[in-house]
Amino acid sequence: MDGQPSPPAPPVRAGRRWIVALLLGLVGFTAVIGSSLLGTVAIPVRTGVEILLHQMSGGALFPAPCAGTGVSVAHCGALTFIVWNLYLPEVLLALIVGAALGISGGALQGVFRNPLADPFLLGISSGGTLGAAILYVYRIQEAHADLFLPLFAFVGATATGLLILAVARGRYSSVETLLLTGVAISNLLSALLSLVLLYNPVGGEQVTFWLLGSLGSADWEVDGIAFGIVLALGTVLALYGRELNLLQLGSDVAQSAGVDAPRVRLVVILLASLTTAVAVAFTGIIGFVGLVSPHIVRRVAGTDYRVVLPGSAAVGAIFLLTARDVSYLAFPSSLLPIGIFTAFAGVPFFLYLLLRQRRGTTMGTT
Amino acid sequence: MTGPTTLPALRVRHLSVRYGARVALHDVDLQVHAGEFLALTGPNGSGKTTLIRAALGFLPATEGAVEVFGRSVEELTVHERARQMAWVPQEEGLRDQVPLRDYVLYGRYPHHGRMDGESDADRRLADRILTDVGLGDRASDGVLSLSGGERQRAVLGRALAQETPILLLDEPTAHLDIGHQLDLLGRVRTLSRTRGVTVVAALHDLNLAARFADRIVVLSHGRRVADGPPAEVLSEDLLVRVWGIAADLGRDRRTGLPFLVPHQLVQASRRDPSSPFMGPVHIVGGGGSAEAFLRALTEEGFGLSAGALHLLDSDAEVAEALSIPSAIEAPFAPLGAEARERHRALLGAARAIVVCPFAVGPSNLSNLLDVLPFVDRAPTFLMSAPPIRERDFCGGEAEKAYRALSDAGATEVMDLGGLLGALRAVFPSSPSATQDGPRTTAERG
């Protein structure tokens, strides 16, 4: 009997569960409000909070938000616009995109049985970017770009996902194969992207923004579209928890227990690519959220994919929001691409995982 | 087995499976009745695992089909198969620290719809199964904290949670020590008896197969070569022919079941699947007449047996040094009943027989006479230099015996070179021709 016994899950009574949920909701709400005060323009805390609560309550709370703070009416209007139409949508988009990347990462790690799977590392994000770049550079459907952007990103991301599935066929649980496949495909896509940009410099700055990842495109309409799609896809994806649990025992065992492994793999990769594509379409390439989030969930809540999938969405949302806040706190007046910050947090973590792999430690047990 | 009124749990109909050019299973026909414990056995690479995987629907049949309660496996959905058959692999790749009860509950998957959660009934079932497999007190431990034996019992539990009428096990005890082997198969046996579960287990350990199975099916080179109750199927002849081992078969005094004690490998290259087995070739020798043949034929890659030799005879010493199974008699004694019986067993297993140019006296005349009944079963070669007349020390009896052998179809050969040529014709190097082919199968069937 080697190894340490796992701690049994403490029984949580239904009542306590509600209290925990309520507290978490409160903390989340506070985080959203607080984050919405952060940006390139400094917002006085009290004024900002009052404006937000005023807007959220439809005017019922703080009927005159700036009144007590000596801010002029015109200035108040400007602040309201900034907080309500720029910062809050950005915060919400960070949550939506973080959740999308988190759950995609969790699903990809499950389906490839590989702890280093991540939409960014596998090149799925790059595939989405290439699709989006083609749309922009060639000005296809310019009038309905908001709708066609996710579609093009999706085609690019999904094609990449399927390509990986085909290339790494049967060997994707090997860390080396999967990573090398990802590197190769990412490089191919970068080359294609450079080609597109070289011949069509118009629209190039838009594409550069994608390459580094940014929440700058956020507005209420974008948030609405992104939220709808991510919620729908995430819900379906989260229903594959049991299949992913069984796939961890190997394709054959899963098959013998009733999981149609090839079909489930295809469906989950399609859903994860689609979810990633939504993120890519609106914010560009944001790396490492999908890699880090599932690991945190597994560490805290165990390896059951019925928990890992929704948990990764939650942790991904928190991770990306934190990255956004940190970027504004560290560099208050500059608009730095958020992908840079997720990389700062993600790369050391990635290297740590890689080193642990090479030492042969079993994943998911810590 | 005429006209069974109930449908067999599993029916394998003329099943052939090929991987590219390699034939893994060839025209295997088999029925497993409901509630039966069938052991599939055979050497490595004989097709046991292929048969189990084909039954599970993991491998497509090249020809033929597998039917589960009358329905072809290929017609069933993955979900439907999982409600009929559960699988215990040789080793399951567990890598996450899943609590044992949750792990067993994974087996409930085929009984759930997409939106269903696990019910209290599922959890009660999981606890009962854990008790059945002897892990009742470990339910909340993680699977990675289990020992090897416990882990395999957990895998069995996960398979049992599928509540299928059929359980397929692929070398489930391969990585377990003897105590855990007996424990695991004993539990499977009990479940089969108490719940009427049909069990098909690939087992390469013949003693385990004989001990737990109602019936043994032996596969060799992808063909079914024997089928029946353990006591009928296991024979010294079969062991030489299929496994290339010489073994003593006995009967366990407590259980009345056959058991075997392997003592020699007939030919080491038997293990190498890339070179077809050329043998066994039985060498009848004595008085140093066989030494050169034993060495040369071994060097040429033939699998040999020898007899009946006297202990301390240089032939016997060479045979022993080369690990060639032999029928041996005490020094200078006439060949006794026991040595002759063993000699005949080896002759019976042989696919070619060589009679060396030994001097024949009354004490070893039986060596020639014993060959006679086997001449029409295996090509026989008589070494005729020096001529038998010069070696006959029993007043013409030896010469008469030689003539009888020759009349029965034995071929006279003058020297080693001639013998090698003749033997190569018996064992052409194409693998299909050297397998336990239809001839042998037909004889058994």
Q: What string of pLDDT tens digits covers the 445 residues of chain B? A: 444 457 899 999 999 999 888 889 999 999 999 999 999 999 888 999 999 999 999 988 999 999 999 999 999 999 999 999 999 998 888 888 899 999 999 999 999 887 777 889 999 999 999 998 999 999 999 999 999 889 999 999 999 999 999 999 999 988 888 888 999 999 999 989 998 999 999 998 899 999 999 999 999 989 999 999 998 888 888 888 888 777 778 887 777 788 888 776 665 444 444 556 787 899 999 888 898 888 888 877 788 899 889 888 888 888 887 778 888 888 877 888 888 888 988 998 888 999 999 999 888 888 999 999 999 889 999 998 888 888 888 888 889 999 999 999 899 988 888 898 888 888 876 443 334 433 333 333 3
Element holding A35 (H helix, E strand): helix A14-35
Task: Name which residue leads in pLDDT, A317 or A207.
Answer: A317
Q: What is the pLDDT of residues A236-255, one digit of tens each?
A: 999 999 999 999 998 899 99
Cα B72 from Cα B70, distance rounded (Å): 7
Q: How far is A1 from chain B (nearest CA, A)?
A: 5
Tell me: pLDDT of A141 over 70.
Answer: no
pLDDT at B258: 82
Residue in chain B closest to A261 (alpha carbons) equals B78
Interface of B with A in 70-89 (CB under 8 A): 77-79, 81-83, 85-87, 89
The answer to whether the Cβ–Cβ distance between B106 and A258 falls below 8 Å is no
Q: What is the pLDDT of residues A194-227, one digit of tens each?
A: 888 777 666 666 666 677 788 888 899 989 999 9
The pair of three-digit structure tokens given for residue A293, joined into one six-digit string: 């989030």
- Which residues, 6 or more positions from B239, have their beta carbon under 8 angstroms from its beta carbon? B245, B246, B247, B249, B260, B262
Query: Phi, psi (5° rounding) for residue B412?
Result: -85, 135
* pLDDT band for position A170 (cuts 50, 70, 90): low
Residue in chain B closest to A257 (alpha carbons) equals B82
The model's pTM is 0.73
pLDDT at B266: 61
Residues from chain B that touch A258, judged by Cβ atoms under 8 A, are 78-79, 81-83, 109-110, 162
Q: Is B56 on the interface with A (CB under 8 A)?
A: yes
Task: Name which residue leads in pLDDT, B1 or A331.
Answer: A331
Q: Which of B79, B93, B98 sits opposite A303 (nearest CB)?
A: B98
The answer to whether the Cβ–Cβ distance between B98 and A3 falls below 8 Å is no
- Which residues, 6 or more positions from A223, have their beta carbon under 8 angstroms from its beta carbon? A89, A92, A93, A96
pLDDT at B4: 47
The answer to whether the Cβ–Cβ distance between A252 and B98 falls below 8 Å is no
Cα B365 from Cα B398, distance rounded (Å): 7
Q: Are B87 and B56 in contact (CB under 8 A)?
A: yes
Question: What mean pLDDT comes out for the span A74-102?
Answer: 93
Share of chain A above pLDDT 70, in %: 87
Cα B118 from Cα A85, distance rounded (Å): 45
Q: Are B168 and B160 in contact (CB under 8 A)?
A: no
Q: For residues A182, A184, A190 and A195, what is the CA-based torsion angle, rounded to 10 degrees?
A: -150
pLDDT at B182: 92
ipTM over 0.95: no
The answer to whether the Cβ–Cβ distance between B158 and A257 falls below 8 Å is yes
Cα B338 from Cα B330, distance rounded (Å): 11
CA distances from B72 to A229, B10, B68, B84, B400 (A): 42, 10, 6, 12, 61
CA distances from B320 to A60, B131, B301, B302, B329 (A): 103, 52, 17, 16, 13
Task: Name which residue leads in pLDDT, A137 or B385.
Answer: B385
Q: Is A9 on the interface with B (CB under 8 A)?
A: yes
Can you tell me which residue has the tokens 């021709």? B433
The answer to whether the Cβ–Cβ distance between A249 and B162 falls below 8 Å is no
Task: Name which residue leads in pLDDT, B153 or A359.
Answer: B153
